[in-house]
Structure 1
Amino acid sequence: MRALNQILSDEGLCAVQRADVAGLFGHGARALIGEGFRIGNRPLDTVRLPELVERFVAFYAAEIAVETRPYPGLVAALRRLSLRGFGLAVCTNKREDLSHAVLKGTGLSPLFSAVVGGDSLPEHKPHPRPLLEAIALAGGRADMAVMVGDSETDIATARAAGVPVIAVDFGYGGRPAIEFGADAVISHYEELDQVLEALLLTR
């Protein structure tokens, strides 16, 4: 949000509110900038878009964890799973370098053994390969893995990879998580262990 509003301010446009663009989180800087210009009733010059994206990413990268926080219960849940021997990986369409920076800035890096970003492979979500690669890098097997996500893209990725998927209903999906067709939906990470066990028992 800070990166987007900085770009809009530089361009003489008013700041947008989180509710205006939350459904586009996870869709990249281009989508956010485009929506910011649309809200500001100004046509976006597509020739200038690469420059705006570059400035957005530079600002975002420099202050990537200033206001970023893990969701309540996430760290405890990841630690519990790690202690039980689960391999943990991140599969995201965010650039890999930015993904590592977010994890480092929030102190989450030590909990994950693999990160596959949107530029790690020729394919990106919802193609199944990034998820299957993340599972393999974490030392896992697709037939014993579960994905946790917050968007329709996440559910589509898991389905394509043949992996069960748990949706959280507090992410940036843009629509109620129940509509995405996940195998289960949780409202807090305290629920993760029990739901995870139930899904693994059905494998």
Structure 2
Amino acid sequence: MTNFPFDIIGFDLDGTLFDTSEDLTDALNHALGLLERPPLSVAAVRPMIGRGGKYMLQQGLEASGGCDPEVLERTYPELLAYYGDNIARATHAFPGLGAAMDALDARGAKIAIVTNKSESLAVKLVAELALDHRFACVIGGDTMGPDSRKPSPAGIREMIRRCGGGRAAFVGDSIFDIQAAKNAGIPSIAVSFGFLMQPVEELVADAVIDHFDELVPRLEMLGGKPGA
């Protein structure tokens, strides 16, 4: 256990730790409904997730009749308010996450979140899921300023600083996650079960996992210490 090669494991939130797609789709459809736009399916919304709520709304507006900047700005607060009030109605962890976090804890690794979701919503979500005690820190898309969203490495670097430094790796489901890890100079793992915008192989991560059961073995391999 003491030979685990990483001190810090960072995770994206939406589509990596948790399946948030139903609650985000409900929030988007609430906003579209205020504009008398047709609702979108969860499958249609999943690829829109990952760059923050405003991007998701912009994509939703474009998919349902066109996006006017004034309408986007006027409707965005409505989406955020509805999502904040209904943030964890259907959201759930992906299979195997709890056991993977237990395994990382047993190996002395700190666990953290770096997401493009706003910090306040990310903190609220993990608290409502009763998992806030599991994370050393939560870095949101607005924590480090407006230009710090992934693929910027700013959030990952701040995560490492807040966790006290050491060797880190990052786990995500989008090209923004993998590029952020590369920009921060740390190894990356892509999850094939996330909200993929493209085939997982095209993310060119250092490793790919299909289930959280595979996380610790992949990290050991990436760290040059194969075997449990």
TM-score w.r.t. structure 2 length? 0.83
Q: Deviations over 1:98-129 (max 9, x none)?
A: 11011111122111011111111122211112
Say whether 1:152 aligns with 2:175: yes
Give the structure 1 partner of residue 161 of structure 2: 136
Give the structure 2 partner of residue 24 of structure 1: 48
Give the structure 1 partner of residue 224 of structure 2: 201
Say whether 1:35 aligns with 2:64: no
Give the structure 1 partner of residue 110 of structure 2: 87
Q: Deviations over 1:113-155 (max 9, x none)?
A: 11111111122211112101112212232xx211111100011
- Aligned residue pairs total 199
In the alignment, is the contact (CA less than 8 A) between 2:52 and 2:141 conserved in 1?
A: no
SS at match of 1:79: helix
In the alignment, is the contact (CA less than 8 A) between 1:8 and 1:14 conserved in 2?
A: yes
C-alpha distance in structure 1 between counterparts of 2:118 and 2:209, whole Å? 27
Match of 2:202 among 179, 188, 203: 179
Q: Cα offset for 1:26?
A: 1.2
Give the structure 1 partner of residue 22 of structure 2: none
Give the structure 1 partner of residue 34 of structure 2: 10
C-alpha distance in structure 2 between counterparts of 1:36 and 1:145, whole Å? 35
Over the matched positions of the two proteins, sequence identity in percent amounts to 36
C-alpha distance in structure 2 between counterparts of 1:190 and 1:15, whole Å? 35
SS at match of 1:166: strand
RMSD between superposed Cα atoms in Å: 1.4
Say whether 1:188 aligns with 2:211: yes
Say whether 1:78 aligns with 2:78: no
The structure with higher relative contact order (CA 8 Å, sep 6+) is 2
TM-score w.r.t. structure 1 length? 0.93
Q: Which runs of 5+ in 2 are unaligned?
A: 1-24
Alignment of 1:90-169 (within 5 A): 90-122=113-145, 123-141=148-166, 144-169=167-192
C-alpha distance in structure 2 between counterparts of 1:201 and 1:136, whole Å? 24
Mean CA deviation greater in 69-78 or 19-28: 19-28
Whichever structure has more helix as a proportion of its residues is 1
Report runs of 4+ in structure 1 exceeding 3 Å deviation.
Answer: none
C-alpha distance in structure 1 between counterparts of 2:53 and 2:42, whole Å? 14
C-alpha distance in structure 1 between counterparts of 2:214 and 2:70, whole Å? 47
In the alignment, is the contact (CA less than 8 A) between 2:52 and 2:118 conserved in 1?
A: no
In the alignment, is the contact (CA less than 8 A) between 1:74 and 1:189 conserved in 2?
A: yes
In the alignment, is the contact (CA less than 8 A) between 1:118 and 1:125 conserved in 2?
A: yes
Query: Match for 1:35: what amino acid?
Result: Q
C-alpha distance in structure 1 between counterparts of 2:61 and 2:117, whole Å? 22
Q: Which runs of 5+ in 1 are unaligned?
A: none
In the alignment, is the contact (CA less than 8 A) between 1:87 and 1:139 conserved in 2?
A: no
Give the structure 1 partner of residue 81 of structure 2: 58
SS at match of 1:88: strand
In the alignment, is the contact (CA less than 8 A) between 2:88 and 2:129 conserved in 1?
A: yes
In the alignment, is the contact (CA less than 8 A) between 1:92 and 1:117 conserved in 2?
A: yes
C-alpha distance in structure 2 between counterparts of 1:14 and 1:104, whole Å? 32
In the alignment, is the contact (CA less than 8 A) between 1:75 and 1:108 conserved in 2?
A: no
